[in-house]
Structure 1
Amino acid sequence: MLPDRRGACGIGAPLSTSPQPAGPSQPSASLRADPRSRPGRRRWTISDIVIASTLAVACGVIFWGWNLSYHLVSNLFLAYPPAATLVHGMWLFPAVLGALVIRKPGAAIFCETVAAVVSALLGSQFGLTVLSSGLIQGLGAELIFLAVLYRRFTPGVAMLAGACSGLFGGITYHWIVPMYAFAPFETIVHIACFVLSGAVLAGLLPWMGVRALAATSVLSSLASRNAHLEPAGLFHGRRAAQPAGDHRADSAR
């Protein structure tokens, strides 16, 4: 007996070589692999709001303490005042820290602005100017995370965000809310030091801090809970694969 098209020796069901489309109960492999790619994953949750607010208030208290001690620290730069911005990254870190922890649109602006408001309420020698500078510096960091569509949180991206926040801060201090009057070359040095400080103090250090926190499971309810598992490539690190338990956690939220 010769085999026909229905199967071997003419026995059995017809063979089909065309791929079967996935039904509604069979999500694509990419969605199963990364549940954060589902629609709505960029929306803030109650947990995001509470933790971002707590983080921003804590940073505002740190701002207040830093404001009180800044006049002592600035004495280190009396020989060359334009270099004083090498420590100004301390006023930028909430933006990058908030974005790395929350990983949702608006986190950088929110944390930096709320921290500035808290420091103003506690009392700042810079007055209400901290509100505008906080908003603009937060915007500088936010733009970098927006440029990568809130999908990459590598040390390189964090440092770029801190540097951009420093650039926006330098522009603010010289032309939007003028607080300095240096010669052109000193102005360039002043802003360049601000950018460098932002990259290190407000970019790299917060990235290291978030990575360390994630390893302790403190961030277990947030999108950054697996930050310690992500490759540490400067710009091209891919997101680490999620443990199976995280899939259930995502579907539950």
Structure 2
Amino acid sequence: MQTVNESKVKWSLRDVIFLAIIAIFFGVIFELWSAAYYAVAATPLKPYANDLTLGVWLMAGPLAGAILQKVGSSTIGEVLAAAVEMLLFSSWGAANLISGFVQGIGTELGFAATGYKNWDKLGLALSVLTTTIVTFIWDLFNSGYADYKPGMMITLFIIRLISAGFFGGVLVYYIKKLVTKSGLLKR
């Protein structure tokens, strides 16, 4: 039976502060990013707007996980960032919390698949894949994706995977590298 290292479960004050910083930073980014979503939705690309822009909303969880390397940090980071976005008078209101939870669980599953042992490229790649799958299933029911024809669903899934991969995978990987290089993570 695979067990999780105790250091991956216990939280320090420093971990909580880092998580709060990530949540506040991304909560503000999320609210500002809403303008990008609405800009795309106001064009003929409207059916693709959610999937094209979703990747930014998927960054808090993977970054919290990759930096803190704690069980649950991805889910908590994503939910707290969604809460900050909601408190900034997001047009989606309390639905942000549900989305944040779904997105956070999706990310968490990727890191969990490695037994919480890989927080770098493999863990991020798996979290991108699991987040894409989990959020897409959510949108099948929540956003009416189930009404689309199979070709459109496949197109939306691929666009979502690319968006999640770029923002929640590649950008998060390089942000983590920059934060690590800065020395902020040294204990």
Q: State whether TM-score is above 0.5.
A: yes
Change (3 A) 1:119 1:96: same
For 1:184 and 1:129, the matched residues in 2 are separated by 27
> How far does residue 82 in structure 1 lie from its aligned partner after superposition?
3.2
Q: Is the 8 A contact 2:41 2:49 kept in 1?
A: no
CA distance, structure 2, for counterparts of residue 219 and residue 88 of structure 1: 28
Q: Which residue of 2 aligns with 1:148?
A: 114
What's the offset of the Cα at 1:147?
Answer: 1.5
Shift, 1:208, TM fit: 1.0
User: Structure 1 pair 149/214, CA: closer, same or farther in 2 (3 Å)?
Assistant: same
- Assess, with a 3 A threshold, how the Cα gap between structure 1 residues 150 and 212 changes in structure 2: closer, same or farther: same
Letter of the aligned partner of 1:162 in structure 2? V
1:52 matched to 2:25? The reply is no
Q: CA deviation at 1:146?
A: 1.1
- How far apart, CA to CA, are the structure 1 residues paired with 2:37 and 2:50? 10
Rg bigger for which structure? Answer: 1
Root mean square deviation of aligned Cα: 2.1
Identical aligned residues as a percent = 26
CA separation in 2, counterparts of 1:99 and 1:65?
A: 23
Counterpart for residue 87 of structure 2: 121
The one of the two structures with greater contact order (alpha-carbon pairs below 8 A, sep at least 6) is 2
Distance 1:194 1:75 in 2: 19
Give the Cα separation in 2 of the matches to 1:90 and 1:133: 13
Q: Which runs of 5+ in 2 are unaligned?
A: none
The residue type equivalent to 1:105 in the other structure is V
Q: SS where residue 152 of structure 1 aligns?
A: coil
In structure 1, how many angstroms separate the alpha carbons of the residues matched to 2:154 and 2:171?
Answer: 25
The separation in 1 between residues aligned to 2:50 and 2:17, in whole angstroms, is: 34
Aligned length in residues: 182
Give the CA deviation at 1:57: 1.5
SS in 1 for 2:143: coil
TM-score of the superposed pair, with normalisation by structure 2: 0.87
Unaligned segments of structure 1, at least 5 residues = 1-38, 222-253
Q: Where is the helix percentage greater, Structure 1 or Structure 2?
A: 2
Q: CA deviation at 1:83?
A: 6.6
Corresponding residue of 1:64: 31
Cα offset, 1:68, TM superposition: 2.8
Q: 1:186 to 1:83 in 2, by over 3 A?
A: farther
Q: 1:153 to 1:53 in 2, by over 3 A?
A: same
Q: Which AA in structure 2 matches 1:64?
A: E
